[in-house]
Amino acid sequence: MLRFTTAGESHGAALVSILEGMPAGVPLLAADVNAQLARRQAGYGRGRRMQIESDQVEFLSGVRAGETIGSPIAMLIQNHDWRNWQEIMSPAPLDGEAGHAGERKRAVTRPRPGHADLAGMLKYDRTDARDILERASARETTARVAAGAVCRVLLASLDVSIGSHVVALGDVLARAPEALPPDLNAAADLSQLRTLDSDAEARMIALIDEAKRSGDTLGGICEVVVTGLPVGLGSHVAWDRKLDGKLAAALMSIPAVKGVEMGMGFQAARLHGSEVHDEIDPAEDAVTRGRLSRRTNNAGGLEGGITTGEPIVLRVAMKPISTLMRPLASVEMTTRESAASTVERSDVTAVPAMGVIAEAMTAFVLADAMLEKFGGDSLGELLRNRQGYLRYLAERDTGRGAG
Ligand code: EPS
């Protein structure tokens, strides 16, 4: 139903995001996208690049007079750093004597363990890992957040909201409150580390400062929570229609993400069924859940690849950033001699930003699932179709046993 693709290198002229399949009539402003881009740029532990950029979107197509028109939405985000990299990143052939290409500036020939550098050089037959790292850079996620921001606007008109918070940074665990705040992002965005535990935040900051001093990096875990979804998105009937599988694939595609959990996740494997499964009660007022409720939500809002109507709860684990200021052992590829890996400007950690990116990827998958279930070429049609389904949920099984 919905597709998006991105283009752009970290130090190229710009990033591009094309989202296709949005219905017409969705109110959309550049400010909706810019607000999400700004959230992605924040977070304690980022490097100097984020001071250079102030990401702003320009709609090239698909939006007119503040509304989507159903055509592909092309979005452009300029790289301010481009002015410092124009020569290095220029698409023009290198000057040099006939038959001899000139020397490349800022070539990367000592691949960083953990980055795409080495596997990419070998796979794409490149002598300069810059041809790989420019695209493998997490700068690309700017374009994902832009596409996700549009999806969020659609979801908001369907009463769905998506938030996230950081639950671990390195070995510092945040204690989540009993009940999450109703506006999760409003609360999490107040914290430099997007965490709801201010004691843990102070320890996280100290850990990041220490890692920075020693030239090291850190990873962590974010939790994404989605509320307002009706029961019945996704399907059990085929492996590639299961919504949990689609969400996991989308989240695993985020740079440096190494694990995804849903609901109780890996912990469920160590417990008994009686401790894991969410018992069912009647609940007349819970229409979007089929007038039923669950005593717990260990499933994280998904059973059989279908939404249950409970909040979706996902946890996403990010490894430490692979560019270390105290470089790890590598090989100089031109001579095959051992050498310290290349040092490029980077972040000590980007876990708070990863949460924002995870929200964007989740928004895309869920907007697609909504369009699959309810269809519609305009927002009005989509809302009418959804209304019909909600009416069915409200009315089904009523009057049973009365006659
Ligand atoms: C990033 C931009 C990059 C890095 C970081 C994320 O900018 P630069 O390479 O100019 O410093 O700060 O990228 C990486 C961590 C990486 O491994 O490439 C961004 O916009 O998020």
For the stretch 149-178, pLDDT in tens is 999 999 999 999 999 999 999 999 999 898
Q: What is the DSSP letter of 266?
A: G
Q: Give me 307's structure tokens.
A: 């939404």
CA nearest to 43, candidates 141, 182, 178:
141
**Cβ atoms 161, 167 nearer than 8 A:** no
Query: What mean pLDDT is predicted for residues 273-289?
Result: 97
Which residues lie with the beta carbon below 6 Å from any ligand 1 atom?
10, 47, 49, 81, 137-139, 142, 321, 323, 344-347, 350
Alpha carbon of 239 to those of 230, 235, 236, 304, 376: distances in Å? 21, 9, 7, 10, 25
Query: What mean pLDDT is predicted for residues 42-70?
Result: 96
Alpha-carbon distance of 71 to 325, in angstroms, equals: 45
241 pLDDT tier (thresholds 50, 70, 90): very high
Alpha-carbon distance of 206 to 209, in angstroms, equals: 5
Which class would CATH give 3-393? alpha beta
Mean pLDDT of all residues in the chain? 96
Q: How far is the CA of 256 from the centre of ligand 1 (A)?
A: 12
Query: What mean pLDDT is predicted for residues 78-93?
Result: 94
CA nearest to 352, candidates 210, 201, 192, 205:
192
Query: What mean pLDDT is predicted for residues 205-228?
Result: 98
Q: How far is the CA of 159 from the centre of ligand 1 (A)?
A: 34
Question: Whose C-alpha lies nearest to ligand 1, atom 16?
Answer: 137
Query: What mean pLDDT is predicted for residues 115-136?
Result: 97
**pLDDT tens for each residue of 283-317:** 999 999 999 999 999 999 999 999 999 999 999 99
Q: How far is the CA of 323 from the centre of ligand 1 (A)?
A: 10
Query: What mean pLDDT is predicted for residues 324-339?
Result: 97
Alpha-carbon distance of 220 to 169, in angstroms, equals: 4
**Cβ atoms 230, 390 nearer than 8 A:** yes
398 pLDDT tier (thresholds 50, 70, 90): confident
How long, in residues, is the chain?
Answer: 403
> What's CA 8's distance to the chain center, in Å?
17
- Tell me the percentage of the chain whose pLDDT exceeds 90: 93
The residue type at 231: V
SS (H, E, C) 231-243: CCCCCCCCHHHCH
CA nearest to 376, candidates 158, 214, 169:
158
- pTM value is 0.96
pLDDT of residue 95: 74
Q: Is the pLDDT of residue 340 over 60?
A: yes
Query: What mean pLDDT is predicted for residues 76-85?
Result: 96
pLDDT of residue 403: 42
Q: Is the pLDDT of residue 400 over 70?
A: no
pLDDT of residue 102: 58
